[in-house]
Chains A and B, each alone.
Chain A
Amino acid sequence: MAVAIKRLQVLKVRLTSHITFVLVTLTCAAAVLLCGFAWLAAIKVDDLYLRRQADFVRQGLEEQIAALPREQESVTKWDDAFLYAKQRNHEWLLDNVGRWTSQYFAHDRTYIFDDANRLMFAFRDGADAMPPRLDDDDGKEMTALAGEMRAALVERAAEPGAEPIGQLATVRTIMIGKRPAIASARPILPSSTRMQIEAGQEFIAISVKFIDGKTAESIAHHALLEGLHFASSKGEDERAQVPVSSHDGGTIGYFVWPPIRPGYMLLQQIAPAGLGCLALLITVVFWLGRGLHRTSLTLLDSQAQLTHHRNHLEEMVADRTVEIERQREELDRLLVHERQVNALQRQFVAMASHEFRTPLAIIDAAAQRLCRSTTNVSGDYVHEKAGVIRSAVVRMVDLMESILASGRLETGQITLKRSEGDLKALLVTCCDRQRHLSRSHVFHLDLQPIPDVLTFDRSAMEQVFTNLISNAVKYSPNAPDIHVRARADEKTVEIAISDSGIGMDAEDLPKLFQPYYRARSATGIAGTGIGLNVVKQVVELHGGTVEVSSELGKGTTFTILLPIAFLLSDQQVAA
């Protein structure tokens, strides 16, 4: 059921999309049906009309046939006619029978047979035929008719109680020669009872009326028809003819008339107008259908657009969802990063506090010692304590410088103050200072020649060397050997500082130069996590790079590579 409904809907949609075609087809079908009905109606009307015409013609013919004996009666029921016929008075018969029937009733022929059935009188075609004779064309039929009539009269007379014989008449339609005719036989009888006649002794009168133009005209007049005529053979239209039968059952001819078909004529008349209307209707339907089709196309298009838009909307929503998801992940990532930075900063603050407190503690402790020992204090003792205090102060200053530098670097405020100087000498100075601070370590210097005069930011570079050397000391508590190497080729100055200390895990190396980041192996060793960041930034500002290689438990090497071109650039410009 559902499938059927679905199919129906599909069909409907298809038909809707060919609406013009459907409408025109339906209109044509309706028009064809209408034409068919009109055609059928016309045929029916024509049929009815023709049948009625045929009925009229048939009635007319019957009327003609019935009229003949009636007319004949007026000349055969008459005492005088009986007497003069018995007397064989030719003149009287000619005047009162022949001319009368011919002129008043338009009978074509009149014959009178005597009691011995011999032709006594003949009036043919308006003229007396004297002596009377029967020609080849009417002889046989007339004689036979008269004999038959006489036999009937005798038979009737033999019947007891039979009605008067005066009423007897025999009417035939026959062919006389090749002409169809109505023939009526009647006995000539007295109209009064004064005279009697024996049965079989009657004189027989026969009137003949050819079925010719006059008869046809008379029938046509009766049937209100034009063009009615007698034809020996059938006409074209079966319905527009009436057969004329002979007494022996055969057909002697037909009354034929041109068939008038009012339905057909009406159709013919209205056909051009109808076709015009139909064409107009189809045009209008086509036009409307096109409009509807266009409208439906627009609707379908709109629907398609809506569907597309809906689908697109889904896509857009999906895209947007993906975008939002991506943004969320980005935010999460940023948040995690921010948290890490925050954690690093907190750690830095704690470490900074610790780092400041340590030299402060040294200074404070030394001062307390000096305060307590006021009684017997030697000059050496004071000197020693002052040295301790000074080195702690230096340490604090370095720390402060490092933090400040880091802050400046972070905000991008730092600019190099480059001046000419001896890089190698600076390195040696830094080593010496560190050597003085940490006597437990041994510094092995391997310094090959590098250009004596280079242009660099002295204080920044000093910080770089100090950081790296102090780191080497700090992270190798049990390995006293620190190697400092310097060498140069045409392009690069290379300074490497190695220790054999605690080293770092490979995983720590990529993050090592991030601000506040400290390798995990540095746990328990004081530090702020900003030194290496400062090193990296300063070296990069000098156009160089810092490389690190380290192995956990084996030691670490930091290598600074500085391009000579950069270190000489100002000189070259000056030169």
Chain B
Amino acid sequence: MVTVLCIEDEVEIRNLLVEELSEAGYKTLEASNGAEGLEMILSKWPDIVISDISMPVMDGHQLLAEIQINHPELSNIPFILLTALTDRENTLAGLRGGAADYLTKPLDFDLLLAKLEGCVTRLANDKAVHRSF
């Protein structure tokens, strides 16, 4: 079962997201800011991370950078940014920082699920390749 970590400070959005993902057959983990998310990533090793950007304590960019710099072994975890920040600067910064994708709110659940499916397929392929060696 694929584990998805949802890092989101807005409780309503997080709840709705978790609800949708659970219904789609994913195992979900929750965190309300970047710091909690990092802790969760390190302890639970999720398969996919969905993260907001604007969050207290540690924001999405900082979390991404933390992973890329201090935890490179985790940098192959697909990291999808899901944010209300639609400006070009933040988009470029997120993608450049190593995000697998940059989705904006209001979010289209179909789009998100399609992304997740793509990621899952790629993960499965990676595992198959690894296994063949």
On A, residues with C-beta under 8 Å from B are: 350, 353-355, 357-358, 360-366, 368-369, 372, 388, 391-392, 475, 477-478, 502, 523-526
Contact = CB atoms under 8 A, between A and B. Distances in A.
B105 A350 contact: no
A362 B84 contact: no
B125 interface: no
A350 B85 contact: yes
A365 B109 contact: yes
Given A354-B54, A361-B84, 6 more contacts: A357-B86, A358-B10, A368-B20, A368-B109, A372-B109, A477-B9
A477 B36 CA distance: 12
Contacts of B59: 523-524
Which of A353, A392, A525 has the most C-beta atoms of chain B within 10 angstroms of its own C-beta?
A: A525
B19 A369 contact: yes
B33 interface: yes
Contacts of B108: 368
B85 A365 contact: no
B73 interface: no
Interface string B95-119: 0000000001111110000000000
B105 A360 contact: yes
Contacts of A525: 54-56
| Consensus secondary structure, chain A interface | helix
B117 to A, nearest CB: 16
11 contacts: A350-B85, A350-B87, A354-B85, A362-B13, A362-B16, A365-B20, A477-B32, A477-B56, A478-B57, A524-B59, A524-B62
B17 interface: yes
B56 to A, nearest CB: 5
How large, as a class, is the contact surface on chain B?
Answer: 20 to 34
A365 B20 CA distance: 9
B110 to A, nearest CB: 9
| Consensus secondary structure, chain B interface | loop
A524 B104 CA distance: 17
A391 B16 CA distance: 14
Across the A-B interface, give the 10 residue pairs with the lowest CB-CB distance, nearest first: A361-B105, A364-B106, A357-B84, A365-B16, A524-B59, A361-B106, A354-B84, A362-B12, A477-B56, A525-B56
Interface string B61-98: 01000000000000000000000111100000000000
Interface string B15-26: 111011001000
Contacts of B105: 357-358, 360-361, 364
A503 to B, nearest CB: 13
A361 B15 CA distance: 12
Contacts of A362: 10, 12-13, 16
B13 A365 contact: yes
B54 A361 contact: no
